[in-house]
Amino acid sequence: MIEIRLDHRQGDFRLTLDLALEATGIIGLIGRSGSGKSTLFNCLAGHVRPTRGCIALKGRALYASDRGVNVPAAQRRIGLVFQDGLLFPHMSVARNLAFGARNRGTDFWHEVIGALDLGHLMAARPARLSGGERQRAAIARALMAEPELLLLDEPVSALDPGLKARTLDLIARVQERTRIPMILISHAPEEVGRLCDRTVTLNGGRIQSVATRNATPVFPALAPAGAIRCAT
C-alpha cells in the first residue's frame, strides 16, 4: 500500500490528503497548476518535510510527525525521473545506468535495457541522444536501483507527439516487466488515460476524485477523513 495522510502548509497554500492506494501498476496524478502535485511529489520524495501527518510505503513509515520519523530522501527507496531527463553528460549511457545500480549485468539489468530499447545506445553519451532517448535512459537509471516506488514528473512533456507516444508505451512495458509501482505526474489527462490504471485528481490542495480505468470516479476520496492510519 501507499498511504498518505498529510496536512501541509506552504505559505498561503494548504495540502490536505487522506489516501490509500495499492502499490501496483501505474498511478496517475493530475490537476491544474497550483493544485498540489509538485508539493506532494516533494513530500513523497523526502525533499519537503510536511507540517504534520504520515506517509508509508508497503508498510514502512517514511514520515510520521507524531513519532518524529522522517526517513532521508536517499534512504526512501523512491526513484525520481524529471521532465528534462537528467544524465551525467561525461558518462556513456552504460555508465549512467551503472551509477548506483544494484544489479549490473543481472537479468533485471538486461530486462530494463530491453524494455526501454536502449541496447544500441549503451556506448553513446547524452549529447548524442534525442530527447526521447535521454528520457528512456533516465528512467532506466532510476530503475536500476530497484526502488520500491518510481515517481515520474511530467516525463514526456518536452517531447514531440511521436516520441511522446513511444515513450509512454515503453514506460508501460517496463512497468509490466519489472512490476515496480509508479506514480506519473502530468497536466495531460490523455497521457494519464493512456497509461494509468488509477488516477488521482487534485484540486486546490485536496483530492477531487480517485478513479480506476473505465470506472466511475469516487468523490472526494477513497476513504473518509481520519480512516487511514499509516504503518507503525
pLDDT at 214: 64
Q: Report pLDDT for 223.
A: 45
- Domain spans of the chain? 25-47+72-212
pLDDT tens-place string over residues 106-124: 888 899 999 888 999 999 9
Which set of grid coordinates corresponds to residue 206?
485536496
Cell numbers linked to 160: 514531440
Closest CA to 52 of 38, 41, 30, 67: 67
Helix pair 131-144, 161-178: axis angle to 10 deg: 20
Strand-strand pairing, 182-186 and 69-70: unpaired
Q: Name residue 1's amino acid.
A: M
CB 64 within 8 A of CB 54: yes
Any alpha helices (H) in the chain, and if so which ranges? Answer: 37-45, 93-98, 107-115, 131-144, 161-178, 189-195
Cα–Cα dist 3/14, whole Å: 19
Residue found under cell 497548476: 33
Domain at 25-47+72-212, CATH homologous superfamily: P-loop containing nucleotide triphosphate hydrolases (3.40.50.300)
Task: Give the model's pLDDT for residue 232.
Answer: 52
CB atoms within 10 A of CB 190: 10
pTM, 2 dp:
0.86
Measured between alpha carbons, how far apart are the two ends of the chain, in Å? 13
Residue 217's pLDDT is 52
Task: Read off the amino acid at residue 224.
Answer: P
Taking only the tens place, the pLDDT of each residue in 182-215 is 999 988 888 888 889 899 999 999 999 998 876 5
The mean pLDDT values, 10 residues at a time, for the chain of 232 residues are 94 93 93 91 95 94 95 94 83 90 83 90 92 88 91 85 83 89 89 89 93 62 48 54
